[in-house]
């Protein structure tokens, strides 16, 4: 059995999104049928990004397993003979049997295009949102600046009931205008459901003058979907690229006005240990940050995650944090000198052998060690924490939920908001 990785491009106009649906034609369904015919066996693809109805892609990634011995790099050429003209396989290659497109650290880039002129252009109607109100691009840029970095993007997520972890990282957000076309280009480690389109709808309101640029920060702080602008139509959105991490980052930092932390991963590949230093964190965010970043390290291969709270006293050994519980552990590493010994904790993942307890240190009551319960926290986003194997490294924003099912258009097609 081999696993083949495909890079795909498609025009999403005629499809009800990526994910299979019983009563509608989707990208996934068309790919499965074409591959099954080509390979002579039943094929089911696994997609990296489940784009919504009407959303386009220049570079989406999918994998499938096959017994067929066709040369991997020729599969894309043969597959295109079975696909409609609005879907193309750009590249194909063999990959590791356990490589999963949604279990890898990945930078995803989207573009949202806005045609800003008095009269719409028919040739652009399927690939941009038409807005006849003049947009102030400079104000939009100022508003966009508040969104860059690691934040809780709850205000920019369509309500879905199961999404509990709404922290994401935006690496860059640029806004450029060429002739009558305004392009928002956004790169991040992952996106919530409708997140890019809600950001676009909010920044359009800033450009029109409904919101001042500073109001974007207030929307972010509100953590309430009702505070943000409408969801821009799907047709203006394109998945541009997916850049997978080739080497595990030694250090990851997250900082905003609500928290600051550092995750040290330099020992994961050698000793299986990672170190989390929480320098400061607002009380309402502490438990979620501890769980989120600890889980990120475990997903990246850590068997033990040493954690400390420099503000002190908030890691409770008597309770569980999602999958994790805390007990006493021993310090001593260079990375642990920033805190007092009693401030350090360590997590051990379920399914891995747990270290022997140090009786003397337990009697002294100075150290804490964590063990994993393996329990599922019903309050956590199902997609976020469901993949617990070590088969692939993963950032804490793993599953791209942007544009997953449903159109959710909040802007009128006529160009107004």
**pLDDT tens digit string along 178-233?**
999 999 999 999 999 999 999 999 999 999 999 999 999 999 999 999 999 999 99
pLDDT at position 361: 28
pLDDT at position 321: 87
Is residue 417 domain-resident?
Answer: no
Query: What's the DSSP call for residue 402?
Result: T
**How many angstroms separate the CA atoms of 167 and 151, rounded?**
5
Domain identity same for 213 and 264: no
**Maximum Cα–Cα distance across the chain:** 79
Closest CA to 243 of 388, 49, 87: 49
Per DSSP (E only), the strands in 337-408 are 344-348, 368-372
**pLDDT digit string, tens, across residues 113-151:** 999 999 999 999 999 999 999 999 999 999 999 999 999
CA 362 to chain CA centroid, Å, is 40
**How many angstroms separate the CA atoms of 49 and 245, rounded?**
16
Instruction: Name the token pair of 217.
Output: 């920060």
Domain identity same for 153 and 232: yes
Closest CA to 275 of 323, 325, 338: 338
Domain identity same for 236 and 349: no
Is residue 415 domain-resident?
Answer: no
Beta bridge partners of 15: none
CA 109 to chain CA centroid, Å, is 11
Across the range 81-99, mean pLDDT stands at 97
Least confident of 161-170, 217-226, 280-289, 302-311: 161-170
Domain identity same for 238 and 255: no
User: Residue 9 sits in which domain range?
Assistant: 2-95
Domain identity same for 110 and 237: yes
Q: Is 297 helix (H, G, I), strand (E, B) or coil?
A: helix
Domain identity same for 160 and 68: no
pLDDT level of residue 412 (50, 70, 90 thresholds)? very low
Per DSSP (E only), the strands in 32-166 are 46-47, 56-66, 87-95, 106-116, 129-131, 149-152
Which of the following is catalytic: 11, 52, 258, 400? 52
Domain identity same for 114 and 207: yes
Residue 387: active-site member: no
Across the range 89-106, mean pLDDT stands at 94
pLDDT at position 405: 33
Domain identity same for 148 and 237: yes
Last residue of a domain, one of 179, 212, 242: 242
Last residue of a domain, one of 213, 242, 271: 242
* pLDDT at position 329 over 90: no
**How many angstroms separate the CA atoms of 2 and 40, rounded?**
14
Domain identity same for 110 and 27: no
pLDDT at position 342: 59
Per DSSP (E only), the strands in 52-180 are 56-66, 87-95, 106-116, 129-131, 149-152, 167-178
Question: Between these two residues, 202 and 316, which has the higher pLDDT value?
Answer: 202
Instruction: Name the token pair of 358.
Output: 């140090």
Residue 414: Cβ within 10 Å count: 9
Is residue 389 domain-resident?
Answer: no
Is residue 405 domain-resident?
Answer: no
CATH number, domain containing residue 83:
3.30.70.580
Question: Between these two residues, 181 and 393, which has the higher pLDDT value?
Answer: 181
Instruction: Name the token pair of 324.
Output: 């994790």
Does pTM top 0.95 for this prediction? no
Residue 416: Cβ within 10 Å count: 11
Task: Provide the number of structural domains found in the chain.
Answer: 3
User: ∠ CA 18-20-24 to the nearest 5 degrees?
Assistant: 95
Domain identity same for 114 and 31: no
Last residue of a domain, one of 60, 95, 130: 95
Is residue 162 domain-resident?
Answer: yes
Residue 348: Cβ within 10 Å count: 23
Question: Between these two residues, 158 and 181, which has the higher pLDDT value?
Answer: 181
Closest CA to 65 of 38, 45, 40, 90: 45
Instruction: Name the token pair of 188.
Output: 């991040």
pLDDT level of residue 320 (50, 70, 90 thresholds)? confident
Domain identity same for 267 and 342: yes
**pLDDT digit string, tens, across residues 279-296:** 999 999 999 999 999 999
pLDDT level of residue 341 (50, 70, 90 thresholds)? low
Is residue 303 domain-resident?
Answer: yes
* pLDDT at position 249 over 60: yes
Domain identity same for 312 and 191: no
Is residue 414 domain-resident?
Answer: no
The whole-chain average pLDDT of the chain stands at: 83
* pLDDT at position 273 over 60: yes
**How many angstroms separate the CA atoms of 409 and 374, rounded?**
39
Q: How far is CA 310 from CA 156, 333, 334, in A?
A: 31, 16, 16
**How many angstroms separate the CA atoms of 203 and 205, rounded?**
5
Is residue 135 domain-resident?
Answer: yes
**How many angstroms separate the CA atoms of 351 and 116, rounded?**
56
């Amino acid at each position: 059995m081999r696993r083949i990785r495909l890079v795909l491009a498609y025009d999403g106009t005629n499809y009800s999104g990526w994910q299979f649906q019983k009563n509608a034609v989707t990208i996934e369904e068309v790919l499965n049928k074409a591959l099954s015919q080509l390979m002579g066996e039943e094929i089911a693809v696994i997609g990296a990004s489940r784009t919504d109805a009407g959303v386009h892609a220049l570079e989406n990634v999918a994998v499938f397993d096959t017994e067929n011995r066709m040369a991997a790099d020729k599969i894309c050429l043969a597959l295109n003979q079975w696909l409609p003209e609005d879907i193309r396989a750009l590249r194909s290659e063999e990959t590791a049997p356990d490589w999963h497109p949604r279990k890898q650290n990945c930078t995803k880039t989207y573009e949202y295009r806005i045609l800003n002129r008095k009269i719409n252009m028919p040739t652009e109607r399927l690939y941009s949102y038409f807005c006849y109100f003049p947009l102030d691009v400079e104000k939009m840029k100022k508003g966009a600046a508040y969104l860059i970095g690691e934040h809780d993007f709850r205000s920019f997520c369509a309500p879905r009931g199961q999404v509990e972890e709404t922290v994401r990282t935006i690496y860059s957000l640029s806004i450029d205008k060429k002739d009558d076309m305004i392009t928002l280009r956004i790169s991040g480690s992952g996106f919530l459901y409708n997140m890019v389109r809600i950001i676009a709808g909010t920044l359009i309101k800033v450009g029109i003058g409904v919101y001042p640029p500073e109001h974007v920060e207030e929307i972010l702080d509100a953590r309430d979907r009702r505070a943000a602008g409408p969801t821009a139509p799907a047709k203006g959105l394109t998945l541009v690229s997916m850049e997978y991490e080739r080497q595990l980052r030694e250090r990851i930092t997250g900082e905003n006005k609500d928290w600051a932390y550092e995750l040290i991963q330099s020992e994961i590949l050698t000793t299986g240990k990672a170190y989390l230093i929480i320098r400061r964190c607002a009380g309402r965010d502490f438990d979620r940050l501890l769980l989120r970043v600890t889980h990120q390290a475990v997903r990246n291969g850590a068997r033990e995650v040493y954690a400390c709270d420099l503000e002190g006293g908030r890691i409770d050994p008597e309770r569980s944090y999602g999958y994790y519980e805390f007990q006493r552990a021993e310090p001593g590493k260079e990375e642990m000198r920033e805190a007092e010994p009693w401030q350090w904790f360590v997590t051990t993942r379920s399914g891995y052998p747990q270290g022997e307890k140090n009786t003397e240190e337990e009697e002294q009551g100075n150290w804490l060690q964590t063990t994993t319960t393996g329990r599922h926290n019903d309050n956590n986003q199902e997609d976020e924490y469901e993949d617990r194997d070590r088969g692939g490294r993963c950032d804490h924003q793993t599953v791209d939920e942007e544009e997953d099912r449903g159109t959710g258009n909040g802007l009128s097609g006529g160009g107004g908001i």
